[in-house]
Homo-oligomer: A and B are copies of this chain.
Amino acid sequence: MTILRLRIVFDDAMLGPGKAELLERIGKTGSIAAAGRDMGMSYKRAWMLVEEMNRAFREPLVISTRGGPGGGGAQLTESGARVLELYHDIVAKAENAAAARIGTLEAMLRPAQPGDISDRK
């Protein structure tokens, strides 16, 4: 199935599939470390991405408590949930608007041959 991966490049910030997935997993797991781990990302990188997002927006997208008995926790703020929802809406709108042309491109592709080694990475 064809999918669109979409990166929004603002003047001084970016939002793409990686940050969106990180936000989503933080919302589900309640932990930046666990969210990053699920994505095969170092703790340091997950924190860096969260800090980048928190700096980029007027209000933080993620609030966290470091350490403590439970090892600290994190959750999406209202702004975080809103940004994630907007990102998903943007992808859905884009896929919908482009669907006919994506179908035209698909029809131009060479059909997969049995035994082909996929180029997909």
Residues of chain A having any CB pair with chain B under 8 Å: 1-16, 52, 55-59, 79, 82-83, 86-87, 89-90, 93-94, 96-98, 101-102, 104-106, 108-110, 112, 116, 118-120
Contacts and interface: CB of A to CB of B under 8 A. Distances in A.
A90 B101 contact: yes
Given A1-B11, A13-B109, A52-B119, 11 more contacts: A3-B9, A4-B7, A4-B9, A6-B6, A10-B106, A10-B109, A15-B105, A82-B108, A86-B104, A93-B98, A94-B98
Contact of A83 (B16, B56, B96, B108): B108
Contact of A5 (B7, B55, B58): B7
Contacts of A120: 9, 11-14
Contacts of A55: 110, 119
Contacts of A3: 8-9
